[in-house]
Amino acid sequence: MGASTGPKLSGMQKQVLSLYRGFLRSARSKSPEERHQIESIVSTEFRRNSKLIDRKNFLYIEYLLRRGKKQLDQIKSPDTVGLSYLNVDASQTKKP
């Protein structure tokens, strides 16, 4: 990889991007319909969380990373055919 001209990313930001790329990579192994569904849900969820969750809410972000990694492991399974939304109470995402 070449030198990046963008801002330096924190360790947590790198973990989030890595998880996002992991979902997209795993989606490639599914059927076209399943791939589209997974990509759409993942994109929507990551965008929604980036707007709703305070960047300094490290505990909650770590929780979402752990939950996301579990979901990614499930998607990697050949038996898994799709992904569903998990609604999280938005009141827990705001800064106190």
Q: What does each of the 96 residues of the chain score in pLDDT, given as a tens digit?
A: 455 567 788 899 999 999 999 999 999 998 999 899 999 999 999 999 999 999 999 999 999 999 999 999 988 887 766 565 544 444 444 444
Q: For residue 76, what are its two tokens?
A: 């990697």
What is the structure's pLDDT at 7?
Answer: 79
What is the structure's pLDDT at 15?
Answer: 96
Which residue type sits at 55? Answer: R
What is the structure's pLDDT at 9?
Answer: 85
What is the structure's pLDDT at 47?
Answer: 96
Rg (CA), the chain: 14
Nearest to 93 by CA among 45, 70, 59: 59
pTM of the model: 0.75
